[in-house]
Amino acid sequence: MKPILTLFQRELRSYFATPVAYVFIVIFLLLSGAFTFYLGRFYERGQADLEPFFQFHPWLYLFLVPAVAMRLWADERKSGTIELLLTLPVTMGQAVLAKFLAAWSFVALALALTFPIWITVNYLGDPDNGVIVTGYLGSLLMAGAYLAIGACLSAATRSQVVAFILSVVVCFLFLLAGFPLVLDLFRAIAPQSLVDAIAGLSFLSHFNGISRGVIDLRDLIYFLLTIGFWLYANAVVIDLKKAD
Amino acid sequence: MIEASALTKRYGRFTAVNAVTFEVRVGQVLGFLGPNGAGKSTTMKMIAGFLSPTAGRAKVCGFDVETHPIEAKKALGYLPEGAPSYGEMTVRSFLEFIAGIRGLTAESKRRRLDDVIGRLRLEGVLEQTIDTLSKGFKRRVGLAQAILHDPPVLILDEPTDGLDPNQKHEVRRLINDMAENKVIVISTHILEEVHAVCNRVVVIAGGTLLADATPGELEARSRYHMAVSLTTDETAKARETLTAIPEVETVEIDPQNQRITAFPRKGQQILMAVGDALRAQGIAVRELQLETGRLDEVFRNITQSHLREAHA
């Protein structure tokens, strides 16, 4: 446990050692605000809830979370510090987990800084705060799933740019899996059970449930399993690729 | 103690390290010598637990690095090639991070930090980020990181690479200071380093271990071993005189500085005979020296004959 904590602290601090963290947080806050008020028509809807805020998170994360994840392992491989890290007395699992948790905490911090919008909606009306809490929970879980994908793909290359693009593409596929665009295509060629399975893999369908205030155990398990799967894959990829 | 037995690493069909076996005990400073790409770093990476061997095994202080990696890594201080470290951290926070990961308690952490900062003269750069440091300081930070937990086993991949002569001297002194009660393995392609710090040499080329000896034994393999070299104004006469000595096999003259070298027949001592002969002929010698052997020549012989065999 102790090594995880030490690694976690180092990682989290390294975000703030450069302007990257501040740039990320500012852009995240600006974009989430712009989406909510202009695209989501927060005022015009005349409803006291945060749906217009949460509904754009899958799209916002699509580009911002891979940007957080891309340096996780690609940078270690490029600078050679991966050799230092993996010859310290820590297990692969501890290293993978500590790095992921640090990145996740960082995204959580950015998400937490959107609190003024929560205050605003409470000032303007009388929202169901329970729904808003589950919305935040769902958003955080989805960010974790994006991050786990990004972390794994970041271990596959030395180049942060390649890691970023790969992550965006894979995350986009997971996002789109629930859309008619993709499902109709599969419906024509695959049995219904496969189509359902593909729809079941979509971030969007699981997130929509939680963000509307419905905590379905299956949605929670889905996100946690996705994170677990990609982190395991992360460890495997590091093991395979660390030599070159 | 380090035990490597039949350590092998293959990448596809390419064999980077081929069944390398050796053992290093406390008090030994083992120099890993070899041309670039010989497999030195790969061998070290396997012992340090970074790469998994394709076959064979490595043990550090009795712990197999594959089956008991954490115990082995705890006993080990490792300086990877190029001394990588986290550039955005300050020297102090980097060393404190390493101390934390190594599980040092508050008391021993302060003591050890003071010790390595003093030994490696890092006082002046503690609050600087590592990215802004010169190459020499970066290397010293890497060394500080490796010895921070006072490990019984040290593996240093090219510890003096990129240092100026003064810094090299200091790092070698540091290694000598620690040598007595540790197991130390260093890799280098600088032959003078072998004399300066090592009491044992392993030569490796093409992934194969070619020699395992003390620096003295290696020098004894040189054809210069026990040869006598001298300079004089009467080069031609001296050459004649030396060639006439029965124990002398051949006499060579270096075309650049006219230095004459007399090589003995196998197992013969020629120093006295050379001295007597020169005196008898009345040849004035400017300077005369008994050669111990030339490591660079031995190194070339060992590694190149291996290459020739590999190509044949």
Residue B97 shares a structural domain with residue B208? yes
* Residue B122: other Cβ atoms inside 10 A: 21
Check B80 against A17: CB less than 8 A apart.
no
Q: In B, which residues are within 8 Å of A81 by CB distance?
A: 84-86
Task: Tell me if B97 and A6 make a contact (CB, 8 A cut-off).
Answer: yes
Residue range B177-202: mean pLDDT, rounded: 89
Rg (CA), chain B: 24
Task: Please give the Cα distance from B71 to B63 (Å, whole number).
Answer: 7
**Is the pLDDT at A114 greater than 70, yes or no?**
yes
Residues of B with CB under 8 A from a CB of A: 11, 45, 48-51, 69-70, 73-74, 76, 78, 80-82, 84-89, 93, 97-98, 100-103, 129, 145
Q: Mark whether B59 and B135 lie in a shared domain.
A: yes
Which residues in A lie closer than 8 A to residue B46 (C-beta atoms)? none
Percent residues over pLDDT 70 in chain A: 100
Q: Do residue A87 and residue B85 have CB atoms under 8 angstroms apart?
A: no
Instruction: Give the tokens for residue B227.
Output: 């040869």
**Is B208 in contact with B55 (CB distance < 8 Å)?**
no
Asked if the model's pLDDT at residue A181 lies above 80, the reply is no
% chain B with pLDDT above 70: 99
Interchain contact A19–B (C-beta under 8 A):
no
Interface predicted TM-score of the whole assembly (ipTM), two decimals: 0.87
Determine the Cα–Cα distance for residues B286 and B232; give it in Å rounded to an integer. Answer: 5
B144 and B255 in a single domain? The answer is no
Name the residue with tokens 């809830």: A49
Please report whether residue B155 resides in a domain.
Answer: yes
CB A183 within 8 A of CB A198: yes
For chain A, first and last CA: distance in Å? 30
Contacts of B295 (CB under 8 A, 6+ apart): B191, B194, B195, B215, B218, B219, B222
One domain for residues B18 and B166: yes
Assigned domain for B303 exists:
no
Please answer yes or no on whether B101 and A13 come within 8 Å at the CB atom.
no
Residue A1: what residue type? M
The 10 Å Cβ neighbour count of residue B310 is 11
Task: Say whether both B214 and B278 belong to one domain.
Answer: no
- According to DSSP, the β-strands at B29-33 and B200-205 are parallel
Q: How many angstroms separate the CA atoms of A85 and A95, rounded?
A: 8
Q: Residues of A with CB below 8 A from B50's CB? A: 83, 86-87, 242
Whether residues A83 and B101 touch (CB distance < 8 A) is answered with no
Domain count, chain B: 2
Contact A10 B102 (CB under 8 A): no
The predicted structure's pLDDT at residue A213: 78
Dihedral of CA atoms B120, B121, B124, B125 in degrees, nearest 10, equals -10
**pLDDT at res. B217:** 87
Mind telling me how many Å the CA of A63 is from chain B's nearest CA? 25
DSSP string of B149-206, one letter each residue: T--SEEEEESTTTT--HHHHHHHHHHHHHHHTTSEEEEEES-HHHHHHH-SEEEEEET
Of residues A3, A81, A87, nearest to B78 (C-beta): A87
Distance CA A187, CA A154 (A): 33
The confidence band for A104, taking pLDDT boundaries of 50, 70 and 90, is: very high
By Cβ distance, the residue of B11, B85, B93 closest to A81 is B85
Instruction: Name the band, by pLDDT with cuts 50, 70 and 90, for residue B312.
Output: low
The C-alpha of B211 sits at a distance from chain A's nearest C-alpha, in angstroms, of: 27
Of the partner residues A6, A17, A83, the one whose CB lies closest to the CB of residue B84: A83
CB contact (8 A) between residue B100 and residue A17: no
DSSP single-letter state for residue B227: -
Provide mean pLDDT across the span A52-65.
Answer: 90
Q: What is the CA radius of gyration of chain A?
A: 19
The proportion of chain B whose per-residue pLDDT surpasses 90, expressed as a percent, equals 52
Same domain? For B200 and B255 the reply is no
Q: Chain B within 8 Å of A193 (Cβ-Cβ)?
A: no
Chain A hits for B45, CB-CB cut-off 8 Å, are 83
Q: Does residue B35 belong to any structural domain of this protein? A: yes
Q: Where are the domains of chain A?
A: 2-241
The reply to whether B281 and B147 lie within a common domain is no
A74-99 burial code (b ≥16 CB/10 A, e <16): bbbbebebbbbbbbbbbebebbbbbb
Stretch A40-51: mean pLDDT? 76
* Inside any domain, residue B106: yes
Cβ distance A10 to B97 less than 8 Å, yes or no, reads: yes
Judged against a pLDDT cut of 90, whether residue B258 lies above it is answered with no
pLDDT band per the 50, 70, 90 thresholds, residue B311: low
Nearest CB among B88, B101, B102 relative to A17 is that of B88
β-strands B29-33, B183-188: how paired? parallel
What pLDDT does residue B147 have? 94
Q: Which of A60, A64, A85, A65 is nearest to A75 (CA)?
A: A85
B46 and B183: one domain?
yes
Mean pLDDT for the stretch of residues B32-48: 90
Look up residue A35 and give its two tokens. 């989406």
Read off the pLDDT of residues B130-169 as tens digits, 9 standing for 90 and up: 999 998 899 999 999 999 999 999 999 999 887 888 888 9
What is the per-residue pLDDT across A124-171, written as a single tens digit (0 to 9) for each?
888 888 888 899 999 999 999 999 999 999 999 999 999 999 999 999
Residue of B nearest to A16 (CA): B88
A73 or A53: whose pLDDT is higher? A73
Residue in chain B lying closest to A242 (CA): B51
Indicate whether B45 belongs to any domain.
Answer: yes
User: Least CA distance to B11: which residue of chain A?
Assistant: A243
Starting at the edge strand found earlier in the chain, the sheet holding B14-24 runs B14-24, B2-11, B55-60, B63-64
pLDDT averaged over chain A?
89
Domain that holds residue B160: 2-220
Report the CATH number that the domain containing residue B19 is assigned in CATH.
3.40.50.300
Residues of B in contact with A242 (CB under 8 A): 50-51
Query: Domain of B240: which CATH number?
Result: 3.30.70.100
Query: Would you say residue B310 lies in a domain?
Result: no
Give the residue from A88, A99, A158 with the most B CB atoms within 10 Å of its CB, the best one to mutate.
A88
Residues in chain A: 244
Q: Residue B36 pLDDT > 90, yes or no?
A: no
Q: Between residues B308 and A107, which one has the greater pLDDT?
A: A107
Lowest mean pLDDT across A121-130, B91-100, B114-123: A121-130
What is the distance between the alpha carbons of residues B268 and A114, in angstroms, rounded to a whole number?
88
Q: What is the pLDDT of residues B57-88, one digit of tens each?
A: 999 999 999 999 999 999 999 999 989 999 99
Q: What's the confidence (pLDDT) of residue B308?
A: 75
Q: State the burial class of residue B100 (Cβ atoms within 10 Å of its Cβ: 0-12, 13-18, 19+).
A: middle
Q: pLDDT value at position A244?
A: 66
The burial class, CB within 10 Å (0-12 / 13-18 / 19+), for B186 is: buried
Chain B residues touching residue A17 (CB < 8 angstroms) = 88-89, 129
Let me know whether B281 and B171 are in one domain. no
Mean pLDDT of A47-65: 86
What pLDDT is recorded for position A19? Answer: 87
- Domain assignment of residue B301, yes or no: no
Residue A184 CB partners (closer than 8 Å, separation 6+): none
Quick one: average pLDDT of A23-46? Answer: 85
How far apart CA B251 and CA B168 sit, in angstroms, is: 37
Counted across chains A and B, CB pairs separated by less than 8 A come out at 68
